[in-house]
Amino acid sequence: MTGVHQCKFGKKGGNEMFVGNGSHVYEVAEGWAKVPPHVTLGYTHGIVVDARDQVYVFHTGKPSVLIFDPDGNFLRGWGDEFEGGAHGFYLHRENGEEFLYVTDTQRRLMVKLTTDGRPVLTIRTPDLPNVYDADRKFVPTDVCVAPNGDIYVTDGYGQNWIHQYAADGSYMRFFGGTGSEPGKLKCPHGISIDLRRGEPELYVADRGNFRMQVFTLNGEHKRFIVDDMDMPCSFYYDGDEMFFPDLHSRVTIFDKNNRLIVHLGEDQQAYKQQGWPNLPHDYFRPNKFSSPHGVCVDSRHNVYIAEWTQFGRLTKLIRT
d(CA 254, CA 245): 11
d(CA 61, CA 82): 8
Query: pLDDT digit string (tens) for 217-263?
Result: 999 999 999 999 999 999 999 999 999 999 999 999 999 999 999 99
How many other β-carbons are positioned within 10 Å of the β-carbon of residue 80?
12
Q: What's the average model confidence in pLDDT over 97-107?
A: 98
- Number of domain units in the chain: 1
Question: Residue 240: what residue type?
Answer: D
- The confidence score (pLDDT) of residue 182 equals 98
- The confidence score (pLDDT) of residue 189 equals 98
The backbone torsions φ and ψ at residue 81, rounded to the nearest 5 degrees and listed phi first, read: -65, -15
Burial of residue 214, with CB atoms counted within 10 A of its CB: 0-12 exposed, 13-18 middle, 19 or more buried: middle
Q: What is the mean pLDDT of the chain?
A: 95
d(CA 77, CA 268): 34
Q: Quote the pTM value.
A: 0.94
Q: What's the average model confidence in pLDDT over 124-139?
A: 97
Query: pLDDT digit string (tens) for 282-300?
Result: 999 999 999 999 999 999 9
> Which range of residues forms the domain containing residue 60?
4-319
The enclosing domain of 149 has a CATH number of: 2.120.10.30
Question: Alpha-carbon dihedral of residues 32, 35, 40, 45, nearest 10 degrees?
Answer: -50
- pLDDT at 5 exceeding the cut of 80: no
- The confidence score (pLDDT) of residue 22 equals 93
Quickly state the pLDDT bin for 7 (edges 50, 70, 90).
very low
Quickly state the pLDDT bin for 14 (edges 50, 70, 90).
low
d(CA 71, CA 21): 24
d(CA 219, CA 160): 13
Q: What is the DSSP string of 43-96?
A: -EEEEEE-TT--EEEEESSSSSEEEE-TT--EEEEE-GGGTTTEEEEEEEEETT
- The confidence score (pLDDT) of residue 74 equals 98
d(CA 234, CA 47): 11
- pLDDT at 191 exceeding the cut of 60: yes
- The confidence score (pLDDT) of residue 2 equals 39
Q: Pick the residue with more confidence: 198 or 273? A: 273
